[in-house]
Structure formats: structure tokens, C-alpha cells
Structure 1
């Protein structure tokens, strides 16, 4: 019988489809990169997804984020994402976590419930906390490094963080992981040297008609707003999602190839 995963089953086989259906994956951060991770997992038939994000859709997200449309500006991303996932696969169980993951609230999340964790967080402190906890629990994790200030979507690759070269975020994370005695971390990273963004004070997340005042600027915590485009974050997200799908199938020994 045909269903929305018939073409995927032709490639991987029914045992692999059953594996994905029985898997639970958490995605931390569902913005420019994470939104496309969710898309891949939903369209691949993953049976249970946990979405972590406290942002609302902002007008400046529309250039790159899957859930950002003129019609969704001001809505919480987890709400828009859950609706889209269920429109792809109504059997998928979606858990919405409207929160910023931080060391202060990390104890409220039981990471052992997940078969795989995807880190698309853009702050160092939160990334490290998630990496540290997944490492301690031996939970499979893949982490995205920097996708801003870049124009070459073909420069991304999957590697261990110790093999990264051009990524400033990876350099910071790598040094901190050494201090934590965490020897390796699977990442998606670009070999492209970041481009310095053009200075423009008008491109900020300050108060404006499209974002609630209480949300304005609270999540950036940056000295400068990173430049972005429609294709680089999407490429990173598609690579991340694909790797999770393949890892889940391989770990369960249901990969036919």
C-alpha cells in the first residue's frame, strides 16, 4: 500500500522504515538550521520528535527559516513546526518545549528518553551543557557549528570537531571540550572562512511591529547580528537530518546497503 514514505522504503527497506517510526529524536533550536533538520526527520518517518525553542517567528527570519512566513510572524516556532510536522505525518508524536535550553533548566529535561539529539543551538554555554550531558549519558549527538556569515553551501562536511579548521565557533567549543575531557564530538562544519557582515544598525532584533516587545533582542546575546541567506543554513540542516536518519538505521542494523 502506498503512503508518504513509499519512496524512502524503496531505498532503505521496510525494516529501516520501522526503525525510524520507532525512534525519538530531540532537536534543540529550530531556526535556520534546525527547522530543516525537523523537516528531514518528519519526511523520513521518524515517529516521535521533541522540539526545543522559545523564539517567535521574526520578520528577519523569513530570508532563511522554514517556518518563517508573513503569515506566521509573531507565532512561536514550536507551534508552527508542530503543525507542519503533523501535516506531513499525522502519526508523528510531537512534543513542544517552549524554552531556551540553559544550564539553569537542563535538569528538567530527561535526555535518556531520546534515541538521538541534534544540537542547533547558537550559544556556547547552552551547546556545552547539552554536549556534556549527552556525553555523560552516552546519548548519540550531532552538533552544528557556525552557519552564519557564509555563502558556500557546498563547504559543509561531517567530521569530528578536532578536524575542524575555519570555524570560529568550533574552535571555542573544541577548547572547552578538552577541559571537560570530552575527546570527540560529531559535527557538521563548514570549511569556508566566515565573511564579516556589513554594519547596519537598522538590522537588529529591537522592538518593531512584528516582534513582541518582551522578546526583542533577548536571544541574540551577540555584539553583532550575523549575516545569513536562504541556502547555507538549509544545507547544514539537510546534512544534519540525513546523518541522523542514517545513524539511526545503522545503529539498529536495519540498513540494507
Structure 2
């Protein structure tokens, strides 16, 4: 590794913490609007190994919010574009790609014991619960993103335990389901902003009605229960917050510690 590449980060975190990041392996489930920014920030922070999980291809409708979405990348697999970008940032970062839609029936493909941190950025409740349940069983650090769609105010994003969430409909569902599974604690990023109802009258640009997913896409918009509204700033902000929590937890570096007597 070029010793100068992470020099500015090292000035903040120190040599020992940079070594912790270099020796860590993180898996990110879902590299769309939120997950792509998680990956970006982790790689730029010096993470030594990262697994990226997503079965989607880049679509024209991803251009408004997803890091890997460019006119030149439409139709390409997200994990392929992500890998190329990661290595363009840090050639030494070890990348493991999974062109997989994570659900209980694909969960056995993954050995959760290999990871130092697990990041959940997928949008299916069943999949999220499977990730969290497996991580908790192995006592692995895990952070989960709640609903980032149909929101416009990134300042409403918060980090909290799942039991202290409010307003977010997805967080409410997850609280109830985790309680059934006797999982008491889970770090999440959620928004206290009320959900903005999608403009259903704009059917002429609705992916639900007029799906334009690239050929070969396994899960098109027409099979989704709902296509949420989104933008460039809320998902990306959520992703950056998640990445910051991962870095701080892996290094055990917390700003408040600097002010202790």
C-alpha cells in the first residue's frame, strides 16, 4: 500500500487504528443508493477487504442517487462496476463479489464468521432479519439501514438502537419482528422524517408501470410491491453515516474519548 494514500486519515485516527482497518473484512449487503456510499467511504478509509452483495444491474433510474450509476455503466452488474471503482481507489483492497439476492434461501452461501463487521443495506424485511439473526448468533457487529426512501431531509437521520427508533415504518416492523426473535439490541440508521407519499399521478414515469430495467435483470420493478421515491442526498447521507459508525466501531475510536480527563 502506498503509505501516503491514507496519510490524511492516519493524521486523525493514528497508525494503530489504520492497521485495524487494513486488517478488517467487512461485508455490505446491497450496494444501491445507501450501500454504494457505504462501500465508497469504507474503501477510502482504508478497509483492507470488503465483500459486496447485490444481484442488480445498473438502470437508468439509478442515476438520480446511486454512486455507480453513470450513462456509461447502465446495464452492467453493480458489483462489477463497484469492484473496478474500488480498485481504482485502492488496488490493495481485497474485493469479493456476490451477484446474489440475499434471502434465507441464499444465506448459506455466506460464512458470517469471516467478517469483522456486517452492514445491512437491503430493503426486504425477510432478508434483513436473516442477516441480523445470523450476525447476532455469532456475536458479530452489525448495523442496519432503515427506510431511506420517500424522504427529503438528511438532517433527520439518526443513529440509535432499534428500540429507540420512531416514525420510520420499516423500523416499526423490524422492532416487532426482532422482539419475536428475542433480539434485544441492534444499531440502526433511521429517519424521524415522515414518509412523503409518492406522486402516483406521475404514471408516465413510473417504473412500476413502465419498467425500463436492463435486459437480464432478475427482479424488475414490476414485481416490486412498491417503487419508492428517492433523491441524491438522503440515501447517500445514510450511507456515509453507516460507514462512519463502522470505522469508529472497528477502531474503537470515539471523539468523546478525546475530552475525557
- Sort the TM-score into its range (normalised by shorter chain): over 0.9
User: What number of residue pairs does the alignment pair up?
Assistant: 253
Q: Report if the CA contact (8 A) 1:207-1:216 is conserved.
A: no
1:239 is matched with: 241
Q: 1:215 to 1:154 in 2, by over 3 A?
A: same
Please report the TM-score for the alignment, with normalisation by the length of structure 1.
0.94
Q: Which runs of 5+ in 2 are unaligned?
A: none
**How many Å apart are 1:216 and its aligned residue?**
5.5
Tell me the secondary structure at the aligned position of residue 252 of structure 2.
Answer: helix
Tell me the secondary structure at the aligned position of residue 215 of structure 1.
Answer: coil
Q: Report if the CA contact (8 A) 1:33-1:120 is conserved.
A: yes
Q: Which segments of structure 1 move beyond 2 Å, counting only runs of 4 or more?
A: 205-208, 213-216, 218-221
Cα deviation 1:29-81 (Å, max 9, x = unaligned)? 00000000000100000000000000000000000000000000000000000
1:211 is matched with: 214
Q: Report if the CA contact (8 A) 1:25-1:49 is conserved.
A: yes
Cα deviation 1:109-144 (Å, max 9, x = unaligned)? 100000000000100000011111111111100000
Q: Report if the CA contact (8 A) 2:57-2:217 is conserved.
A: no
1:54 is matched with: 55
Mapped partners of 1:214, 1:242: distance in 2 = 32
Tell me the secondary structure at the aligned position of residue 75 of structure 1.
Answer: coil
Tell me the secondary structure at the aligned position of residue 127 of structure 1.
Answer: helix
Please report the TM-score for the alignment, with normalisation by the length of structure 2.
0.92
Q: 1:213 to 1:89 in 2, by over 3 A?
A: closer
Q: 1:214 to 1:62 in 2, by over 3 A?
A: closer
Mapped partners of 2:211, 2:117: distance in 1 = 37
Q: Report if the CA contact (8 A) 2:56-2:217 is conserved.
A: no
Mapped partners of 1:81, 1:216: distance in 2 = 19
